[in-house]
Amino acid sequence: MDSQHFLSLTIFLKIILYSICAKEKYLLILQTLFSLSANYLNKEEDAGIYQCLASNSFGTILSREASLHIAYLEEFKTQRRSPVSVREGQGVVLLCGPPAHMGELTFSWIFNEYPSFVKQDTRRFVSQKTGNLYIAKVEPSDVGNYTCVVTNTVTQSRVQGPPTPLVLRSDGIMGEYEPKIEIQFPDVLAVAKGLTVKLECFALGNPVPSITWRRPDGVPFPRKVDVNKSTGVLEIPYFQQEDAGAFECMAENSRGKNTVKGRLSFYAPPHLVEKPQDVQKAIDESLLWECKASAKPKPSYRWLKNGEPLESFEVVNGALSISSLTLSDTGMYQCIAENRHGRVFANAELRVIAVAPDFSNSVLKAQTLARQGGDVLIECRPRMSPRGMISWRKGKEALRESHRVSVLDNGSLRISNITKLDAGLYTCVARNQFGVASSAGTLVVKEPTIITSKATQLDVTVGESVVIPCQVSRDPTLDVRFTWFFNEQLINFGSHGGYFEKASAGDIMIRNIQLRHAGRYTCAVQTKVDSASIATDVVVRGPPDPPLDIKVDEVTETTSFVSWSPGPDNHSPVFAYNIQIRSPFSLGWQAAKTVPASLGGQQLSARVVELSPWVEYEFRVLATNSVGTGEPSKPSQKIRTKDTLPRTTPARVSGGGGSRSELVITWEPVPEELQCGPGFGYVVAFRPLGGQSWMQAAVTSPDASRYIFKNESIPPFSPFHVKVGVYNNKGEGPFGSVTTIYSAEEEPSRAPSRVRAKSLSASEVEVSWKPLPWSTSRTRIMGYEVRTTQLKQANESDWVCSTSPCNTYYIKLKAYNSAGVGPDSAVVNVTTKRPPPSQSPVKVMWNATDSKLILKWDHVKALENESEVMGYKVMYKQSRQSRPSVVETNSTSLELSLPVDEDYIIQIKPVSEGGEGSSSKQITIPRITKLIWLFLQSCTEIFVLLVCVPL
């Protein structure tokens, strides 16, 4: 090791000692075995335990101990090692044998020449505990020289041992054998709290063994534990109490397995959790200094005074107790908590003082208030050491003690059952051998505070308002404060949902009282002198609470037995119960029918009847008393009634229609709640009208609503008797009533004749024809289908049901019924009118008299491809009306007999043979009052004109 390393260690030691001893009021004295100017450390002479001593006029303390270890690493002494000869497949251990050292070491191995290092895997392992190299199964590639490299992690120095040759024997290959564990961790290893512990385990064997770790108790490793299977190392960081326990390493191959066990124990050096503090005490006072530390194992305690062991005082569980202090007890004290893993120091100063009596920091109160008939305590606590004698005066006379007047051991004056005569000036006098001092104060006696309201019990109903009184008599010179409590909890007025209000004086009002407001209300009255309280119990009657423990049993197809337990009746007896039921098919909760029909307040069970079979129900119970009906109970568990034969048949059995040779039968499915059990379906029975035997078919779907019977022998439109029944897994139920249904009819066989078509407008065509007979034995006519096309030679898909202006259309008809459509009629053609005018009337003018409205507008001229204008349609309405009136005219003017004291809205459309043209804009004509009309009459040649020109 070079001198630079020694010097750095020397400085490091001095910094540690200074940090231990330094304190502002202490003189630092370093007592070491070397000076600060030392250039080299000697590992034999300088290593050891160091402790510093600090002293001044107040006392002496010792620092905690500092241990100095000097790290070094010597050279290997042996220069040559003998070859190690093994068979191929055999395991081998190459010893490192590190030289003398101090400080933590790490190990590695060079294979043949630097820098070729041995790589660790499942077959090769370098122990960081022993430094040895382990090869589980030797292979030919392992032959060579191996050199152990040792590094000191403190000094960072490194040395190499002599090489060890590894050679193969020529007498054969080693056969397979079971694992042999060569590295074993200790039976018990103690680990400090917070450290990282590494356990090593490696085995020789052929084949190469696998290494696994586990805890014998089966508890899995926490996530922080690192198990390196390739190197056989188990690492536990931040070791804690819960990490302690047994561990097991198992090496296994195809030839067998081997295990080793060990245990990790947890320890912790002492850590102070409660320390003594500096104190100043008077002579004759007692001292108790607590000193507690956490550690494992538990620590022991000892005390030092001024650096010397303290043996004359009692120490219990680390606490130091001194019963009567003297001046000689002054000094510096140290508590030491220690176990075998370490020790900690706690320092504190004790000062014991002696002074004459002094009231400067504890004068008597200038005025003490007391109530007549009560008690009072006047404290007298002067500072003095040692404690002397205390006496009292009232006025100028010495105070005599009596059964009412006494001086306590601590010097305070107590007066009981006070009267007006006790008022006056009181003086406390304190004496010891160092002097005398006194302090005085006045006692004022007041009238007592008395609550005049009587304690009582109030009985109210939910929703009512109640006033709880709290009236007092008191001394008029004192202010009084009222405080209310509900079940010992303070009432904050303005909160609690606004139920509580302050009434006159000290009374309280509860508005709209609820069940939760029942309990004890306490009024507390307080003045500067005394206090009093009174309690009032409030009973709130309300609807009963929900019944409890709803049970359902004895379930049949249509009944069940329901029982319950009563809930609190809220101070009003229950006189009736009601049971409600709910199923997936009901609209919420419904009243249940019961036996007995009326359930009295003592009835706690009943049979519910008229339930539907095979339906899931819930039950709940409500209780009623004289106040009202309470909240319902919690729903019972769901139960399903038992199944039975179905009793309800399908409604609205009907049918008919369909395709040729079909009998279509339809019905309304039976609701699920009426199916009475699983496996529900329908039985369809039918026979020709007048027939004797019924044909039947089963329809297995409960949601089915039709059945189609197809048979080529069924005549078209022939009557059948039909009935539909029901069944489920329990068997068949009844059939419904018999209904007559017709089989499918034939589509019409003839086409309509005498088809005619006439154009009515640009978009309307009138078609007429001779109808076919409405009904025959094989068919009926339900209606006609009209189709148009603009193509003379058209496919069926080209025929539609619409027209457009000024086009030629080909028209044909077909009759139809439920079986389909018949053949086409003869095709006729027709040409629609030209379209109506696209221009709207403009320059609409109006003139009004007292009873007439005159309109004029320009003539609308049709375009070349439009129908000529034949006239006009004028639409008018009052502004409050929804439908307009219509007047047609052939001219471009119109006179309407209308009162002019209303608002009007007017529109004008041209009319042609192609239909109605575009409308003018809406024209609003305001009403003209009588006064304005008279004014207009008085004026000559005045004409009101409105011209509306479209933009």
Residue range 788-804, pLDDT digits in tens: 887 766 565 555 555 55
Task: Between 265 and 848, name the one with better pLDDT.
Answer: 265
Please give the distance of CA 165 from its chain centroid, rounded to a whole number.
69
Q: Of 158-167, 548-557, 659-668, 839-848, which gets the smallest average pLDDT?
A: 839-848
Asked if pLDDT for residue 199 goes beyond 60, the answer is yes
- Quickly count: other Cβ atoms within 10 Å of residue 369's Cβ: 18
Locate tokens 């009560």: which residue? 374
At 766, the pLDDT band (50, 70, 90 cuts) reads confident
Spatial separation of the C-alpha atoms in residues 39 and 238, rounded to whole Å? 38
Mean pLDDT over all residues of the chain? 86
Task: Between 751 and 857, name the one with better pLDDT.
Answer: 857
At 533, the pLDDT band (50, 70, 90 cuts) reads very high
The CA distances from residue 452 to 471, 474, 506, in Å, are: 5, 10, 11
- Quickly count: other Cβ atoms within 10 Å of residue 416's Cβ: 14
Task: Between 243 and 498, name the one with better pLDDT.
Answer: 243
* Token duo for residue 931: 């006064």
Q: What is the pLDDT of residues 677-722, one digit of tens each?
A: 999 999 999 999 988 999 999 999 999 999 999 998 888 889 999 9
Q: What is the per-residue pLDDT for 32?
A: 35
Spatial separation of the C-alpha atoms in residues 392 and 482, rounded to whole Å? 37
Asked if pLDDT for residue 763 goes beyond 90, the answer is no
Task: Please report, rounded to a whole number, the percentage of residues in the chain having pLDDT higher than 90.
Answer: 49
Asked if pLDDT for residue 517 goes beyond 80, the answer is yes
Mean pLDDT in residue range 504-531: 91
Q: What is the per-residue pLDDT for 226?
A: 85
Spatial separation of the C-alpha atoms in residues 858 and 108, rounded to whole Å? 117
Asked if pLDDT for residue 1 goes beyond 80, the answer is no
Locate tokens 């019944």: which residue? 547
At 29, the pLDDT band (50, 70, 90 cuts) reads very low
- CB of 87 closer than 8 Å to CB of 168: yes
Task: Between 440 and 19, name the one with better pLDDT.
Answer: 440
Q: What is the per-residue pLDDT for 697?
A: 95
Mean pLDDT in residue range 421-440: 93
At 900, the pLDDT band (50, 70, 90 cuts) reads low
Spatial separation of the C-alpha atoms in residues 753 and 808, rounded to whole Å? 21
Question: Vertex 581, ends 580 and 583: CA angle to 5°?
Answer: 160
Mean pLDDT in residue range 541-561: 96
The CA distances from residue 912 to 438, 803, 864, in Å, are: 130, 18, 13
Rg (CA), the chain: 58
Task: Please report, rounded to a whole number, the percentage of residues in the chain having pLDDT higher than 70.
Answer: 90
Mean pLDDT in residue range 536-565: 96
Q: What share of the chain is helix, strand, coil (3-state, %, to 5)?
A: 5, 45, 45
At 8, the pLDDT band (50, 70, 90 cuts) reads very low
The CA distances from residue 292 to 175, 332, 697, in Å, are: 63, 18, 95
Q: What is the pLDDT of residues 92-126, one digit of tens each?
A: 999 998 998 888 899 999 999 888 999 988 899 99
Q: What is the per-residue pLDDT for 867?
A: 87
What is the reported pTM? 0.46
Residue 353 exposed, middle or buried by CB count within 10 Å (0-12, 13-18, 19+): middle
Q: What is the per-residue pLDDT for 2?
A: 36
* Token duo for residue 237: 């960081």
* Token duo for residue 820: 């389909």
Mean pLDDT in residue range 269-288: 90
Q: What is the pLDDT of residues 373-419, one digit of tens each?
A: 999 999 999 988 888 899 999 999 999 999 999 999 899 999 999 99
Task: Between 778 and 626, name the one with better pLDDT.
Answer: 626
Spatial separation of the C-alpha atoms in residues 39 and 41, rounded to whole Å? 7
Mean pLDDT in residue range 285-311: 90
Three-state helix/strand/coil letters over 847-871: EECCCCEEEECCCCCCCCCCCCEEE
At 288, the pLDDT band (50, 70, 90 cuts) reads very high
Spatial separation of the C-alpha atoms in residues 108 and 126, rounded to whole Å? 7
Locate tokens 């499918």: which residue? 744
Q: What is the per-residue pLDDT for 23?
A: 34
Q: What is the per-residue pLDDT for 14?
A: 37
Q: What is the per-residue pLDDT for 884?
A: 87
Q: What is the pLDDT of residues 170-191, one digit of tens each?
A: 888 889 999 999 887 788 888 8
Beta bridge partners of 251: 211, 258
Q: What is the pLDDT of residues 619-676, one digit of tens each?
A: 999 999 999 999 999 999 999 999 999 999 999 999 988 888 899 999 999 999 999 9
Asked if pLDDT for residue 282 goes beyond 90, the answer is no
Pairing of strands 300-305, 292-296: unpaired
* Token duo for residue 896: 């309407």
Spatial separation of the C-alpha atoms in residues 398 and 409, rounded to whole Å? 18
Asked if pLDDT for residue 938 goes beyond 50, the answer is no
